[in-house]
Structures are given as structure tokens and as C-alpha cells.
């Protein structure tokens, strides 16, 4: 067997990080907020913001009562600020339709904005101790190596990836949820993308990748996202002006952040369309609700 469930669960209990959203008294809301923030953003950058949010908005209805502009401002530089809008929208639905209680059912979670296949199951498992295949980039890499003997995971295939993990999960809810956390932690701490620490791996002896002689990744090349010069960069620069200002600003101020006017205006428009910015009646630009 390529994955020794009990060994992994014990390993996680031993060396798993003491992250605040893993504390036994952390609410399901706290878990949900952490999962959204952690989408594509490292733990070290999420932790301080998460602590601020929990102190300020301890329940979904508290966040829902804020303007989206204030939420975007508090999101800071975590990146992908549309996540903040979706979390605000999810909090609103939870407050209004679910009695301010984060749902525990995967399908109900999936219906909320910003919650996809990973996050829905992560909340079910980590907040409610349910058995659900939690598949993120770490787990995909661990399974690719330990189970399939490959150097890394190929392109994601939701159905197949979840079936792979499902097959590893113990039958009972509690140990299954523990294993889900352990698989993620193994990928984050040991079975990393670059320079995996195989000498410290709790399942080294059973790992199919080791048995295969640690072959290099042989799948299709993974697309590399550019950043410099993209709309993503320009949108970030524009939004950063508003995050750093008390109130609305004139367009001339925004024009300073990027030289190419066509791209600049396209990005400004897309921010308005997304609801990350608003235009005031007198033509200034502001975070939504902050004027």
C-alpha cells in the first residue's frame, strides 16, 4: 500500500503546524475565511490578515454588514481581490438564508459564490469533520508521487483526482477528515514541488515514486503565467491607489500608474464591471460604497 493512513494521521498530529484556523475552537466561519484567503496565497501572508478579520468580523453577518469597499480594503494585498467580493457575497447568503451558520453539506457549500470543489470539501472536512475528498495542489502532488509513482501531478482532472483521494480515505468521518489534513500538510511541508524532503517523509517506505526510482515529471509542460505587463498587474496597480487613499480619487491620479492609456482604461473599466471600484456621481473613482 502506497499510503499508510494511520502513519500519516499520527505524523500530522506530531508535526502539523499550529495554525490558528486549526485550533479546536475555531468556528466554521473561521475555517471558511481561511480557505478562501489561502486560495493561491501562502500561509505566511494569510495569517495576519485572517487574525484581523476574525477579530473584526467574527460571524458571517458581521462581514455582510460591511460595504464591499471596506472588505476589499481589508483584504489588503492578498491578491485576487475578487475573492473578497465573493466572500462578502457568500457571507450575505449565509446570514440571510442559513441563519448565520456556515453550511456543512458539500452541495450547499458549492452553491455559494467563490466556493468550488476544493473549498466546499475542505470546509466540510476541516470545520465539520466530515469524510470528503479534499483535493488541492498539494494533495494532487502527493497522490501523483506516492500512489502513481510519477514525479508530479499532470493537468487537473476533478473527477479522477477526487476518486483517487476517495479511495484513500478511511470509512469513518473523523479519521477521514484527519487524513485529508495530513495529506495536504505532507504536500506543504515534505512532498513539496521543489526539493521534496523525502528523508523526512513518514511514508517514504511505501512511496511509489521512490519504488520507481524517482522519475522526472513526464507529463505536458505546465503553462507559465506571465505577470509583468498584463492586465492583472495594471488592475493591481489601479486598485492599490484606492486602497491607499481615504476617499475617491480623480482619474488623473489613476492615469499615473500605467503609461499605456488603452490598457489602463480597459483595466479601469473591468474593475468597475467586477464591482471592485465605483464611479461617483461627480466622476471620481472609489472603492464600492465608500462615497
The residues binding DNA (CB under 7 A) are 19, 21-22, 34-35, 38-45, 77-82, 86, 113-120, 122, 136-138, 141, 155, 184-185, 187-188, 192-195, 222-225, 227, 230-233, 235-237, 239-240, 270, 276
Residue 281 C-beta: closest distance to DNA, Å: 25
**Which residue in the list 35, 70, 278, 290 is annotated as catalytic?**
35
Residue at grid coordinates 491607489: 241
Residue 69 C-beta: closest distance to DNA, Å: 15
Angle at which helix 117-126 crosses helix 28-37, to 10 degrees, equals 150
Q: Name every residue whose Cβ is closer than 8 Å to that of residue 38 and which is 6 or more positions away in sequence.
A: 46
The answer to whether 212 and 12 are in contact (CB under 8 A) is no
Q: Name every residue whose Cβ is closer than 8 Å to that of residue 43 and which is 6 or more positions away in sequence.
A: 17, 19, 188
Task: Indicate the residue among 40 and 96 with the shorter CB distance to DNA.
Answer: 40
Task: Indicate the residue among 205 and 214 with the shorter CB distance to DNA.
Answer: 214
What's 249's DSSP letter? B
35 catalytic per annotation: yes
What's 285's DSSP letter? E
Judged on CB neighbours under 10 Å (0-12, 13-18, 19+), 228 is exposed
Judged on CB neighbours under 10 Å (0-12, 13-18, 19+), 80 is middle
Task: Indicate the residue among 89 and 282 with the shorter CB distance to DNA.
Answer: 89
Task: Indicate the residue among 171 and 259 with the shorter CB distance to DNA.
Answer: 259
Catalytic positions are 35
Amino acid at each position: 500500500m502506497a499510503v499508510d493512513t494511520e502513519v500519516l494521521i499520527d505524523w500530522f498530529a506530531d508535526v502539523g503546524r499550529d495554525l490558528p484556523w486549526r485550533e479546536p475552537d475555531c468556528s466554521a466561519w473561521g475555517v471558511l475565511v481561511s480557505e478562501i484567503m489561502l486560495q493561491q496565497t501562502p500561509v505566511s501572508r494569510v495569517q495576519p490578515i485572517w487574525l484581523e478579520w476574525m477579530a473584526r468580523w467574527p460571524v458571517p453577518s458581521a462581514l455582510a454588514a460591511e460595504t464591499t469597499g471596506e472588505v476589499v480594503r481589508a483584504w489588503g494585498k492578498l491578491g485576487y481581490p475578487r475573492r473578497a467580493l465573493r466572500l462578502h457575497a457568500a457571507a450575505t447568503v449565509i446570514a440571510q438564508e442559513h441563519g448565520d451558520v456556515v453550511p456543512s453539506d458539500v452541495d450547499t457549500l458549492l452553491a455559494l459564490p467563490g466556493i468550488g470543489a476544493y473549498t466546499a470539501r475542505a470546509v466540510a472536512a476541516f470545520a465539520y469533520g466530515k469524510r470528503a475528498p479534499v483535493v488541492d495542489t498539494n494533495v494532487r502532488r502527493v497522490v501523483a508521487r506516492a500512489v502513481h509513482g510519477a514525479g508530479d501531478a499532470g493537468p487537473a482532472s476533478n473527477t479522477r483526482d477526487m476518486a483517487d483521494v476517495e479511495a484513500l480515505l478511511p470509512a469513518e468521518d473523523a479519521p477521514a477528515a484527519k487524513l485529508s489534513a495530513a495529506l495536504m500538510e505532507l504536500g506543504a511541508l515534505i512532498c513539496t514541488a521543489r526539493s521534496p524532503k523525502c528523508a523526512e517523509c513518514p511514508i517514504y517506505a511505501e512511496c511509489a515514486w521512490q519504488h520507481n526510482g524517482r522519475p522526472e515529471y513526464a507529463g505536458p509542460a505546465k503553462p507559465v503565467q506571465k505577470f509583468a505587463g498584463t492586465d492583472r498587474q495594471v488592475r493591481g496597480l489601479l486598485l492599490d491607489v484606492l486602497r491607499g487613499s481615504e476617499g475617491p480619487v480623480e482619474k488623473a491620479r489613476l492615469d499615473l500608474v500605467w503609461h499605456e492609456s488603452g490598457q489602463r482604461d480597459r483595466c479601469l473599466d473591468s474593475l468597475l464591471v467586477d464591482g471592485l471600484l465605483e464611479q461617483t456621481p461627480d466622476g471620481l473613482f472609489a472603492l464600492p460604497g465608500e462615497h
